[in-house]
A and B are shown apart, each in its own frame.
Chain A
Amino acid sequence: MKKKNKKSKLVSICIHITFLITCLLIIIPFVLTIGISISSEKDIYTYGYRIIPKNIDLSAYKLLFSAPEVIVNSYLVTILVVVIGAPLGLVMTAMIGYVISRKDYRYKKILTFFVVFTMLFSGGMVSYYMTMTKVLHVQNSLWALILPGLVSAYYIILMRGFMSDIPMEIIESSKIDGASEIKTFTKIILPLSKPALATIGLFMAFNYWNEWYNALLFMDGNKLVPLQLLLVRMLNSVDAMTSNPQVLQQMMMSGMDISTIPTLTLRMATAIVAVGPMLLVFPFFQKYFTKGITLGSVKG
C-alpha cells in the first residue's frame, strides 16, 4: 500500500510539472512583451529583447500617454462597439432562442432549419464583402463592426439549449394569468435565464472586443479604428501612431524629439495597453466561460 502511494505521488508530481511548463509557455511571451515595452530603446539595439530589461525606461508609455488621442480614440470605438453590439445581439439571440426552444411553437422546425442552414453554407468572403459595401454601404461606419456579430447560429442554438430547460408549466401558468407571449418573455423567461444571458453575453462582449476581421475588411480611414485594427496597423509600421498630425504636434509641444521615437518599445507598449485591462478583468469572468463551453459542448 505504501509503495502505491509513493508511485501516485510521483505521477502527480509529473503532472504538475507538465502543467507548470505549459503555463510558463503561456505566461512568458506576455512577460517578455512587457519587458520589451519597459526597456530603453538603446538597450534593445545592443542586447536585443530581454525578459528582464537592463535599464527600465518608461518613455514608450510616456509617449503613449502624452499624446493619447489615437489610443483613446481606439478604446472608445472598441468600447462603443461592445456596449452597443453585445446587449443588442444578446436580446435578439435570447428572443429567437427562446421561441425555437418552445415545443408548441408552430414554425419551430422551419425556423430552426433557417438558423442552422447559415452554419452549413455561406456565400464566401467576396460576396460577404460585396453585400456589406455595395448593398448595405456600411464600410467605414460602426455598423460594419456591429452588424456581423449581432446574431450567430451557434449562440442561438446554445441559447435554445439553455431555454429548453425552463419548465413548460411556468409558461402556461403565465399565459393563464393572461400575459401575452412578449410579456411572458420579458417578465418570466428573461429573469429565469440570467445565468445563460450572462454566459452568452460575455462571449459576445469578448468577441466584439477582439473583433478584427471586419475592421480589416471594412475600415479604411483614421477615424473609426478599433483597438485590434490599430494593433494590425502598428504591426506593419509604427507610423500608424506617429503619422497622425495631431499626435506629432503634441509630441513636439511636449518637447519630444520626433527623430528618436522609440519605435520598438512603443509598439509593444501599445499592445500591452490594448490587452492589459482585458487580461486583468478576465480571471473574474473565467468561471462563466468554462460553464458556457461545457454546456455548449454537451448540448451540441
Chain B
Amino acid sequence: MKDFLKNEMILWKKNRGLTILTLPAVIVLIVMCYLPMFGIIIAFKDYNYSLGILNSPWNGFKNFEFFFKSSDAWRITRNTLLYNSAYLIAGTSISVLFAICMNELSKRWIKVYQTVMFIPYFISWIVVGYLMTSFLDTQYGLMNRIISTLGGNTIGWYNTKAYWPFILIFMNIWKYVGYNTVIYYATIIGIDPSYYEAAKLDGAGGIQMIKYITLPMLKKIIIILFILSLGNIFRGDFGLHYFGTNNAGALYSVTDVIDTYAFRALRQMGDIPMASAVSAFQSTVGCITILIANRIIKKIDADAALL
C-alpha cells in the first residue's frame, strides 16, 4: 500500500507540470459544461423563482407529461427531424457535386469561387435575416416587386406557410455550401494522382474517372460526415429558424423546431417547467443518437470516431 502511494506520488510529480497546464480549460469546462449537466434536474422540478433550483419541490415526470400531451411535441420534433434530414441530404449532394466540378477548374478560378462561396459561412444568421427581408418583405421586397412587374399577385411571404420549407432549405444550402465544398474538395485533391494517370492510360474518360476513382475515394468521408450530422439531428438550427423567419407566428407550424420552441418557452413565456422538459428531452435523445452514430462510425473507420 505504501509502495503504491509512493509510486503514485512519483508519477504525479512527473505529470504535475502538464496537469497545471490543463487546469484553466478544465475549470472552464466544469463550470460551463458539467455544471449545467446537473441542472437537468430542473426538468423534474416544479420550478419556483423564490425557492430556487435546489429547494423547488420535485415534480416527477409531470413536466414531460405536459409537454408530450401538447400537440407541440410532435410538431416540433417532426419539423426538427425533417428539416435536418433535408439539409443533410441536399447539402451533402450539392457540396459533393460542387467539389467534383471544382476539381476540373484551374487554381486561379477555384480561389475566386471559394472565397465568394465562403462569405455566407462567416455572416451571422441575423445578418442573413436582414438580407432575406430585403427580398421577402411583403410591401417593398424585391421578390414581390418582380412578381408584380410580371403581372402576378404579390405574396405575403412572412405569413404564407407553403413556401417556407423551400426557403429554409435553400438558405441552409446558401450558407453552408462553400464550407462543405471546401471539405470535399480537400479530400479530392488529396487523392493520389497516379490513380488518374493509370486510368488515363487505360483510356478512361472524365466521367468514368469520377465514377470509378473520385466517388469511391470520397465515399468514406461522405459517410462519416453524414453519420456525424445524423448524430446532431435533434439539434435544430436556431439562427435560421428564428431570424430567417423573423420569428413570425403565422409560420410556426412549418418552421418551429425544438430549439426555437424551447427558447420562446424560456424567454418569452417564462414557462420554465415546459422549457426545461423540452431541452432535457432534446439533450437526452441527442446524446443517444450521437452515441449510435459514433458506434457506426467506429465500425467504418476507428480513427474518425469521437470515442
Contact = CB atoms under 8 A, between A and B. Distances in A.
Interface of A: 8, 11-12, 15-16, 18-19, 22-23, 25-27, 29-30, 32-33, 36, 44-45, 47-51, 91-93, 95-96, 98-100, 102, 105-107, 111, 113-116, 118-131, 134-136, 147-148, 150-151, 153, 156, 180-182, 185, 206, 210, 212-213, 216-217, 228, 231-232, 235, 264, 267-268, 271, 274-275, 278-279, 282-283, 286, 289-290, 293-294, 297-298, 300
B141 A48 contact: yes
B174 A25 contact: yes
B1 interface: no
B58 interface: no
Contacts of B16: 181
B116 interface: yes
Contacts of B25: 92-93, 95-96, 151, 156
Nearest to B49: A134
B116 A44 contact: no
Given A32-B131, A32-B142, A95 B35 contact: no
A127 B52 contact: no
A31 to B, nearest CB: 10
B66 interface: no
Contact of A123 (B17, B29, B40, B306): B40
A135 B29 CA distance: 15
Nearest to A106: B15
Contacts, number: 275
A12 B102 CA distance: 10
B5 interface: no
Contacts of A127: 36-43, 276, 279-280
B18 interface: yes
Which one of A27, A36, A129 has the highest number of Cβ atoms from chain B below 10 Å of its Cβ? A129
A22 B259 CA distance: 30
Given A30-B119, A128-B36, A231-B130, 5 more contacts: A22-B177, A32-B131, A99-B22, A107-B15, A300-B306
A49 B16 CA distance: 63
Nearest to A282: B122
Contacts of B280: 124, 126-127
B61 to A, nearest CB: 16
B79 to A, nearest CB: 17
Would you list the 3 A-B pairs with minimal beta carbon distance, nearest first? Answer: A127-B39, A181-B17, A124-B279
A216 B239 CA distance: 11
A203 B140 CA distance: 36
A32 B135 contact: yes
A126 B116 contact: no
Given A18-B101, A121-B37, A44 B140 contact: yes
A49 B137 contact: yes
Contacts of B266: 125-126, 129
B32 A151 contact: yes
Contact of A49 (B140, B174, B177): B140
Nearest to B221: A297
12 contacts: A15-B105, A32-B135, A105-B18, A115-B29, A121-B287, A122-B33, A124-B279, A126-B39, A181-B20, A210-B122, A282-B119, A290-B182
Contacts of A128: 36, 39
B88 interface: no
B115 A286 contact: yes
Interface in B175-194: 177-179, 182-183, 186-187, 190
Contact of B243 (A50, A116, A235): A235
Which one of B16, B35, B104, B122 has the highest number of Cβ atoms from chain A below 10 Å of its Cβ? B122
A119 B306 contact: yes
Given A49-B141, A127-B39, A264-B140, A23 B116 contact: yes
Contacts of A16: 105, 109
* Chain B interface, DSSP helix/strand/loop, else mixed: helix
B29 A126 contact: no
Contact of A126 (B43, B135, B225): B43
Nearest to B97: A18
Interface string B279-292: 11011001100110
A267 B140 CA distance: 14
B306 A116 contact: yes
Contacts of B225: 297
A99 B21 CA distance: 7
B233 interface: no
Contacts of A105: 15, 18
B160 to A, nearest CB: 18
Contacts of A206: 122
A233 B22 CA distance: 39
B14 interface: yes
A106 B14 contact: yes
Contacts of B15: 105-107
A99 B127 contact: no
A235 B303 contact: no
Contacts of B304: 300
Interface string B202-220: 0000100000000000000
Contact of B119 (A11, A107, A279): A279
